[in-house]
Amino acid sequence: MAEQDNSQERTEEPTPKRLEDARKKGQIPRSRELNTFMVVMAGVVGCGVLSDYMGRSMGRIMRASFRLERGDLFHPSALLEHSAAALRDGLLLLAPFLALMVIVALISPLLLGGWSFSWESLQPKFGKLNPLEGLKRMFALRGLVELVKSLLKVLLLGLVTAALLGSWKGELSRLVHQDLMAALASSLGFLWWAVLLLGVSLLVLVAMDVPYQLWDHRRKLKMTLQEIKDEMKESEGRPEVKSKIRQLQQERARQRMMEEVPKADVVVTNPTHFAVALRYDQSQGGAPKVVAKGTDFIAARIRDKAVAAGIPLLAAPPLARALYYSTELEQEIPEGLYLAVAQVLAYVYQLKTAQGPNDRPVPPGDLPVPEEYLQGRD
């Protein structure tokens, strides 16, 4: 019983299939603190880059709004046209800044978890309306972590704000002695630096939240030993998976076999339906081995590979069929075929030592193949 209980504990890391299924359901690690930091920093940088352009454009819009002809003041449609023009110009003025914010908001999720769109996550879950379930979530580990993060955020931002106000106390008090435009420019500068420093301070929370979100995501997806066994049975038990595995195994076996054809000494053919590649290594002793064999399409591929590598082809239908049916790959030929294969190898040796076309040996015919090795013939 103890062993069974231990098997139900979620102690195993999630498998790639489990992670992929969770991603399809929209369950990916997310960090609100990271997204907030990216948006705030993008806003600060955008304001810093576009401030001069936005300031001049805003001044132009305000001057145009207050410079009205006397007749326009008593014409309702003219006032609406001026208001619409000011609104249009204001939206066009903010368009680059808003576009930057939208782009950053879309890109920031890529930093942790990437993009994920799931219809399942959009479906309503009425169980969340249960007050008891809501209380459980509030007092769960994640709820406590979120509470601690909120308190830390308030404390951190409060300390940074207090430090900034303390260090800028003298400069802020001197604003009342400046003219309007200078005081406005100084105030905007103080505001920009304040937002920048407050945004940078969020890095502390980001450094704490991102590792926690990654850890919490994998913790939720951890599996029991039984779940891993069931997943393996389900994956291996599917007919299409088994068929795909067999197909890959056969393809790899054929690929390895084809790689051995250029190392053969001779290819015995039917000449079209069968092809068997033989290799004889005198240094290792023993009998010749079959390094490749096949019928029809595979036989054609073996012949093409042999021709490309300069391996001799010998048309000997009875011997080709006997070798194909009696010998497996990387096995020595049976004793009953020694004499026939010896004549073939002798022919190959003579062919390699021939000095010219006139010295080419005559291919051996009527090779001695015992009747019992031709059981597979048609």
Partnered with residue 279 across adjacent β-strands are: 289
Per the confidence metrics, is the pTM higher than 0.85? no
Taking the C-alpha atoms of residue 98 and residue 213, their distance in angstroms, rounded to an integer, is: 29
216 closest CA partner among 6, 36, 27, 33: 27
The alpha helices in the chain, defined as continuous H runs, are 2-7, 16-24, 32-66, 70-73, 76-107, 119-122, 131-138, 141-167, 169-173, 180-220, 225-237, 239-260, 296-309, 317-326, 338-353
pLDDT for the residue numbered 240:
66
Taking the C-alpha atoms of residue 261 and residue 309, their distance in angstroms, rounded to an integer, is: 8
Task: Report residue 273's pLDDT band, with 50, 70 and 90 as the boundaries.
Answer: confident
Q: Of 165-179, 245-259, 294-308, which has the strongest mean pLDDT?
A: 294-308
Given a cut of 50, whether residue 143 has pLDDT beyond it is: yes
Given a cut of 60, whether residue 160 has pLDDT beyond it is: yes
Distances (CA, A) of 260 to 267, 327, 349: 12, 16, 20
Least confident interval from 64-78, 80-94, 119-133, 349-363: 119-133
Residue with tokens 């609100």: 32
Distances (CA, A) of 47 to 89, 118, 189, 195: 18, 35, 11, 11
pLDDT for the residue numbered 378:
44
Share of the chain above pLDDT 70, in %: 83
How many alpha carbons lie under 13 Å from residue 260 in its C-beta half-sphere? 19
Given a cut of 60, whether residue 164 has pLDDT beyond it is: yes
